[in-house]
Amino acid sequence: YRKMATLSVCQPQLGGFSFENCKRNAVLEAEVTKLGCNVPSARKTGTTICGVVFKDGIVLGADTRATEGMIVADKNCSKIHYISPNIYCCGAGTAADTEMTTQIISSNLELHSLSTSRLPRVATANRMLKQMLFRYQGHIGAALVLGGVDCNGPHLYSIYPHGSTDKLPYVTMGSGSLAAMAVFEDRYKQDMEEEDAKRLVRDAIAAGIFNDLGSGSNIDLCVITKGRVDYLRPHDMANKKGVRTGNYKYKQGTTGVLTKSVIKLDLEVVEETVQTMDTS
C-alpha cells in the first residue's frame, strides 16, 4: 500500500493489468495450503470443440459443459462466440479468458472493419488473436478454433494459448480433442456437402462428450456460409435429463386413524407492547 500511495504522488495511474497483489496472493496461498485447504480455482471449460471446412463454408461444433475442478459449473454454456457477422470462434480453456479475449477481438475487428469499410477477414482476426496471446506468454489460457467465410473463401484456424496458430481443413481443441480428432481422421473428405459436414461434426463432438469427463451435455453447431450463418443451439441434446417414471407420494388417507384426542393449552396474555414503525 505504501508503494501505491507514493506512486499516485509522482506518476499518473495507467490502465491495464496491475501486478500489485501478486506477492500478497503468493503469501496467502502458502498460508492456506499450510492449513490444508485449497485456494478457489478458475472455472475451465474442459471441452470438446472442433471445426471443419466443407464445400461452401465452415461448420463449427462445441459441447456445452463448464467444469470447476471436479464439479460441473454450467450444464449449458455457450462456447461458440461471435466475432463478426461472418466469423465465429469456439473457445476452450479458462472460461473467462476465452470470453474476454473473443469480446476484445470482436470489438477491435468491428473498429477495423469500420475504418476500412470492408467485411473483416479471418486472417485479420487470427493475426490479432495470436499477437495478443503471445504478448501474455500463455498466461491467458484460451485455446480457440476460429472459422469464417470472407472474400477469399472459407478459412479455419486453431490458436493455442501461447500464440501459435495452424491453418487446417479440420481442427479439434480441448480435453476431448483426441476423441473428436479420431472421428475426423476416419471420415473427413474434401469438399463435403453441408449435411455430411454437420453430421461429421456432430459425431465428433458426441465422441468427445461420451468419452471425456470434461465435456458433456448438448452439442452446439454453427454453420457459416457466404452470406448466411446458422447458429444451431442446441443442435442435439445428447444428454437429456431423465423423467421420473414413478410417483412416490402417498395418497391422502393411506394411513388409517385409530384414535384422536385433543388437549387444549391454556395460554394467558402476560405482557402486551406496541412498537410503532418509523414511517417518516
Q: Tell me the closest approach of the beta carbon of residue 269 to other proteins, in angstroms.
A: 55
Helix (H/G/I), strand (E/B), else coil: 210: helix
In sequence order, which residues have a C-beta less than 8 Å from that of residue 58 and are 6 or more positions away?
Answer: 51, 52, 147, 148, 149, 154, 155, 156, 223, 224, 225
Tell me: does residue 14 bind other proteins (CB under 8 A).
Answer: yes
**Nearest residue (CB) to other proteins, 33 versus 103:** 103
Restricted to residues 92-121, the positions that interact with other proteins (CB under 8 A) are 100, 104, 107-108, 111-112, 115
Read off the amino acid at residue 11.
Q
Tell me: does residue 27 bind other proteins (CB under 8 A).
Answer: no
Q: Is 47 a catalytic residue?
A: yes
Candidate residues 75, 118, 139, 187; the one interacting with other proteins per rule CB under 8 A = 139
For the beta carbon of residue 258, count every other beta carbon within 10 angstroms: 5
Give how many residues touch other proteins by CB under 8 A.
32
Read off the amino acid at residue 30.
A
Q: Point out which span in 3-11, 89-97, 146-154, 205-213 binds other proteins (CB under 8 A).
A: 3-11
Helix (H/G/I), strand (E/B), else coil: 144: strand
Side-by-side strand order, sheet with 228-236: 170-173, 49-53, 57-63, 219-225, 228-236
What phi and psi values does residue 34 have, to the nearest 5 degrees? -65, -35
Q: Which three cell numbers stand for residue 195?
A: 449435411
Tell me: does residue 28 bind other proteins (CB under 8 A).
Answer: no
Active-site residue (options: 6, 33, 45, 47): 47
Candidate residues 5, 39, 258, 269; the one interacting with other proteins per rule CB under 8 A = 5
Catalytically active residues, by annotation: 47
Which residues here bind other proteins, judged by CB under 8 A? 2-6, 8-10, 12-20, 22-23, 26, 100, 104, 107-108, 111-112, 115, 132, 135-137, 139
